Amino acid sequence: MLLKKQTILERILKEITGMDNVLLGEGGEHADLATTIAFALAKQKKQAPVKIAQDLVADLSKHPELAGITVEAKGPYINFIFGKEYVSDTIKAAVKPGYGSLEKKTTRVVLEHTSANPNGPLHVGHIRNSIIGDTLARAFRKAGYRLEVQYYVNDMGRQIAIVVWGFTHLDSTQHDGEKEDAHIARIYIAANREIEKDPGITQQVNELMQLVEKGDTLTVKKFRNEVSRCLEGFEVTMKNLNVAHDRFVWESDFIRNGYTERIIGRIRKLPQAKQEETLALDLSEFGFENKYVIRRSDGTSVYAARDLAFHAWKGANFDRVIDVLGADHKLIGAQLQCTMKLLGEKVPEIVHFEFVSLPEGSMSTRAGKFVSADDLITEINKKAFDEVTARRPELDEPARRAIAQSVGLAAVRYDIVKVSPEKSTVFDWKEALDFERQSGPYIQYSHSRACSILDKAGPFEECCDLETPAEIALAKQIAKLPMVIERVIAELRPHILATYARELADTFNSFYHFDPVLKSEGDVRNRRLTLVKAAQNTLKESLETLGIDAIRSM
């Protein structure tokens, strides 16, 4: 609705002014939309911006398509304020299930996220990837795309070889109640300690890697076995975070099915290819200074080669290929994109996010320096349960547990998704465990309030003609959801939705305190209940797109 209005206004402004860029944008507190085009026209027309704005307003007010929109000049600014029809149309749309969804599209999108090395549990850095990726996935589905979400399993790396070495040479008994991925991490850390003491072990690790590349059945089986166990652990964690993948794609498959060999053959024919001891690409003409090695001197492939094969496969099966990767992958990501372009393949779009570190420094699985996602979830559920028990002592324990779980999940997901991906962060227990303003639970709370009002109201007649400033402000905030979804997809930045949902909750809470709903009567009661229903539905759709439960009571 807002999108449609903006398109119409842009077109009309272009017609009238003849300008390419009509400088139409948000009007903030002054208007629903505003333009500063008068400044741009001032030079060309040799008139004062204020005069130009007045003249334009005179022309615009007569325009038949702008009926119902107040057009006014405030100094050099031209403001557009939408009328009652816009507000009531918004509410009519927003009370319907699925509000905010965009038109179905035929574009097939593949989104890869998390893809952590299976050598230890997911930590708070990995889940930034999961949560950004999963929120993007939900936004893509809401925007009507056909989507498949993939996890790329790095099952033939050095890390895994070290894990396998550890399981064969060290005491690797699983402790009672120890989670699979935590067990793997313990052995991985121990194996690394042994390697530090005796560098000769590295040779044994290298041999394991060569056996895998050659396809030695027993070694491949060992690798697969440990990786699968680690993934079992990951799946428990991701389920707790409400994160899901449609398919796990195994890196080693791209050796076995010959795709890697095939892409290496094509790379060799590129003018940038340098076959010396290694096969490498010289991408210096594109600003990459280091050699991009594809095949080792012993003939085995490196990660980059398998990754190219994987991406060629994705490009052949999907219209858009999107990867969510940590900032440490920026260089290799750019080299991958560059090479895909040289090969004439579809170029993947890469979403990078900056690192999460601990107050004492960066995290390291190898050194055992990390806060695991499982520990975070356990702590947050504990705190949430205490909180629910304090606020709702009358509920039985299972009910309190259920609420606590949803609240904990909301706190974790929101705390991570609310920050722009390009910002590096330091993990902070106090902030992660906060359930107050600017948190996921705060938005859930607003939703529960709306539900509570609707539950108490009983049946009512829907009425979309709003009056008071608080009512109109809320309706206009509700109107923005479809455009927010559109922006998240266009910019691949899910924190935009997080900000929006918080602002929607703010606006709803403000309305809640200024305009009584159940105590009002007649038409006023009906229209406010309709608005509450629209707000509840919009909060629900926003929360669910953020992967947060829209609980009805908390």
Partner RNA sequence: GGGCUUGUGGCUUAGCUUGGACAUAGCGCCGGGCUUCUAACCCGGAUGUCGAGGGUUCAAAUCCCUCCAAGCCCGCCA
- Which residues in the 31-50 window bind RNA by CB under 7 A? 31, 34, 36, 39-40, 42-43
User: In the bound complex, what is the minimum distance in angstroms from residue 499's beta carbon to RNA?
Assistant: 5
The interface with RNA within residues 273-292 (CB under 7 A) comprises 277-278, 289-291
With CB under 7 A as the contact rule, which of the stretches 215-223, 343-351, 474-482, 509-517 interacts with RNA? 509-517
CB 35 within 8 A of CB 24: yes
Task: State yes or no: residue 272 binds RNA (CB under 7 A).
Answer: no
**Pair 511, 471: CB distance under 8 Å:** yes
Query: Count of residues binding RNA (CB under 7 A)?
Result: 93
Spatial separation of the C-alpha atoms in residues 308 and 524, rounded to whole Å: 62
Q: Does 485 engage in binding with RNA (CB under 7 A)?
A: no
Q: How far apart are CA 228 and CA 35, in angstroms?
A: 57
For 409, other C-beta atoms within 10 Å of its C-beta total 23
What token pair was written down for 293? 């090695």
Q: Is 516 in the site for RNA (CB under 7 A)?
A: yes
Residues 453-472 within binding reach of RNA (CB under 7 A): 453, 456
Segment 332 to 371, residues that bind RNA, using CB under 7 A: 332, 354-355, 357, 362
Contacts 24+ apart (CB under 8 A), 255-258: 255/156, 255/213, 255/215, 255/301, 255/306, 256/215
Q: 171 or 276: whose CB is closer to RNA?
A: 276
Rounded to a whole number of angstroms, the minimum distance from the CB of residue 453 to RNA is 4
**Residues 77 and 38: beta-carbon distance below 8 Å:** yes
For β-strands 356-357 and 425-426, DSSP reports them as parallel
Residues in region 52-111 near RNA by CB under 7 A: 74-75, 77, 79
Which residues is 250 bridged to in the sheet?
153
- Minimum CB separation from RNA for residue 252, in Å? 10
Distance in Å, CB of 173 to RNA, minimum: 27
Residues numbered 412 to 441 that lie near RNA (CB under 7 A) are 418-420, 422-425, 431, 435-438, 441
Degrees to nearest 5, angle at CA 188 with 329 and 323 = 25
Query: From the list 100, 157, 166, 348, which residue makes contact with RNA (rule: CB under 7 A)?
Result: 157
Beta bridge mates, 273:
281
Contact 175, 200 (CB under 8 A): no
Cβ-contact 85, 70 below 8 angstroms: no
Give the nearer residue to RNA in terms of CB position, either 98 or 459: 459
**Residues forming beta bridges with residue 320, ordered by sequence position:** 109
Please choose, out of 99-107, 134-142, 231-239, 493-501, the segment that lies near RNA by the rule CB under 7 A: 493-501
Contact pick of 327, 347, 395, 402 for RNA (by CB under 7 A):
327
Q: Which residues contact 231 (CB under 8 A, 6 or more apart)?
A: 118, 153, 248
CA distance 446 to 540: 10
Closer residue to RNA, CB minimum distance, 174 or 248 = 248
Least separation in angstroms between CB 179 and RNA: 22
Q: Sheet of 24-26: strands edge to edge? A: 24-26, 33-35, 77-82, 69-74
Encoded one letter per residue, x for contact with RNA by CB under 7 A and - for no contact, window 371-390 reads: -------------x--xx--
E strand or H helix at 37: helix 37-45
As measured in angstroms, the least distance from the Cβ of 182 to RNA is: 20
Q: Which of 69, 91, 403, 416 binds RNA (CB under 7 A)?
A: 403
Write the burial class of residue 214 (CB in 10 Å: 0-12 exposed, 13-18 middle, 19+ buried). exposed
Subset of 181-240 contacting RNA (CB under 7 A): 209
- 279: which DSSP letter? E
Q: How far is the CB of 39 from RNA (least distance, A)?
A: 3
Q: At its nearest, how many Å lie between RNA and the CB of residue 368?
A: 17
Candidates 169-177, 217-225, 374-382, 513-521 — which segment interacts with RNA by CB under 7 A?
Answer: 513-521
Give the span between the Cα atoms of 273 and 127, in whole angstroms.
Answer: 37
Select the residue interacting with RNA from 20, 28, 344, 396 (CB under 7 A). Answer: 28
Tell me whether residue 345 or residue 515 sits nearer to RNA (CB atom). 515
Cβ proximity to RNA: between 65 and 491 the closer is 491
